[in-house]
């Protein structure tokens, strides 16, 4: 009998502090940085984002999302035998945020590790979990995307600080004799490392380089639309499906223009695209599971729907997952 993996529960969590564009613009103006709601919306589609309070880490946000996903799946944390956290903003250099999350869930013993592929992180993590379940290494996985990007933003750079937010999303992925994840496709090209990065590291007790996010927005945009289309077509081909089989496209929530461009290339109307970027901003590895959970809980996504998840991020990394929900 063939062994597959299926998503059995979703969950998400946003920190309580919500900043509209107008509120963020007012804060930035006090530091001499000019922006406006109109400027942000026109370029990105973002209207608000959530920021975590000081002392709240990625694992704290991930814990709340994980609890909700476990509840939706009807599972206890003790039943999970694999934990993967996708994050670019871990609690510490080490140990992994996954190990910290495991402890906060009150369990021990199962493998727990982080995946670092920036905004493609959740797609990478889901692909790894799917492979481990299919080979029998795991049976019930908790896959989490959790970020506190507000900690690495340069609030004097209006081209980046208005884009990002904090949050977490999670899924429970379980072994099944019925196909759930149909196909995956992952890629990276390190020659583009400089267009989206945080070029700093810790050495001798000091930060060398810049600990703040740097991005060449135009270069990212040009690369993103093309590689997202390629990854989407690759998973469709692997699964023997076509664009017409996609019920919902759930792209990384970075910029509404990139999302619109990808939908056009796949000949999908925007009413088949899950959009949360307007309320969440870009939450990096958390954006896809946040959008997924939002659409599940609102009733947009129903059992049996075919979903295309796709992400692109620093590295340069990209990938897609096609699944039956």
119 assigned to active site: yes
Q: Please state at what angle helix 287-298 crosses helix 58-73, rounded to 10 degrees.
A: 40
161 assigned to active site: no
Tokens of 239: 């699964």
CA-wise closest residue to 172 among 299, 102, 72? 72
| Angle value at C-alpha 96, between 93 and 101, nearest 5 degrees | 130
- What letter does residue 6 receive in the DSSP assignment? E
8 Å CB contact between 132 and 125: no
Q: How far apart are CA 273 and CA 256, in angstroms?
A: 11
CA-wise closest residue to 138 among 101, 121, 113? 113
In terms of DSSP bridges, do strands 112-115 and 82-86 run parallel, antiparallel, or are they unpaired? parallel
* Three-state secondary structure string covering 200-240: EEEECCEEEECCCCEECHHHHHHHHHHHHHHHHHHHHHHHC
Q: Considering the candidates 119, 161, 197, 280, report the single residue annotated as catalytic.
A: 119
8 Å CB contact between 215 and 43: no
CA-wise closest residue to 85 among 106, 53, 109, 58? 58
Q: How far apart are CA 90 and CA 101, in angstroms?
A: 11
Bridge partners (DSSP) of residue 142 are 83, 172
Judged on CB neighbours under 10 Å (0-12, 13-18, 19+), 218 is exposed
- Any residues with CB less than 8 A from the CB of 102 and at least 6 apart, and which? 83, 108, 110, 112
> Helix, strand, or coil here: 182?
strand
282 assigned to active site: yes
Residues designated as active site: 119, 252, 282
């Amino acid at each position: 009998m063939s062994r597959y993996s299926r998503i059995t529960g979703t969950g998400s969590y946003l920190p309580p502090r919500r900043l509209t564009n107008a509120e963020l613009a007012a804060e930035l103006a006090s530091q001499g940085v000019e922006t406006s709601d109109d400027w942000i919306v026109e370029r990105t589609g973002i209207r608000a984002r959530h920021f975590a309070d000081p002392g709240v880490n990625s694992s704290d946000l991930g814990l709340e999302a994980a609890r909700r996903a476990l509840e939706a799946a009807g599972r206890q944390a003790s039943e999970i035998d694999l934990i993967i956290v996708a994050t670019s903003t871990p609690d510490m250099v080490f140990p992994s945020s996954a190990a910290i999350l495991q402890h906060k869930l009150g369990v021990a013993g199962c493998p727990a590790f982080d995946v670092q592929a920036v905004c493609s992180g959740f797609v990478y993590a889901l692909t790894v979990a799917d492979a481990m379940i299919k080979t029998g290494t795991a049976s019930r996985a908790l896959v989490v995307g959790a970020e506190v990007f507000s900690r690495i933003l340069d609030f004097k750079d209006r081209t980046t600080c208005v884009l990002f937010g904090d949050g977490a999303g999670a899924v429970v992925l379980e072994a099944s004799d019925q196909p759930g994840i149909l196909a995956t496709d992952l890629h990276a090209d390190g020659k583009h490392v400089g267009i989206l990065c945080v070029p700093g590291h810790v050495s001798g007790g000091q930060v060398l380089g810049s600990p703040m996010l740097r991005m060449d927005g135009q270069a990212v945009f040009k690369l993103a639309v093309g590689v997202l289309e390629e990854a989407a077509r690759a998973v469709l081909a692997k699964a023997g499906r076509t664009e017409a089989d996609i019920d919902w496209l759930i792209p990384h929530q970075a910029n509404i223009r990139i999302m619109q461009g990808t939908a056009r290339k796949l000949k999908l109307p925007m009413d088949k695209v899950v959009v949360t970027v307007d309320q969440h901003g870009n939450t990096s590895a958390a954006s896809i599971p946040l959008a997924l959970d939002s659409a599940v809980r609102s009733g947009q996504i129903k059992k049996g729907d075919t979903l295309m998840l796709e992400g692109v991020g620093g590295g340069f990394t990209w990938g897609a997952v096609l699944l039956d929900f």
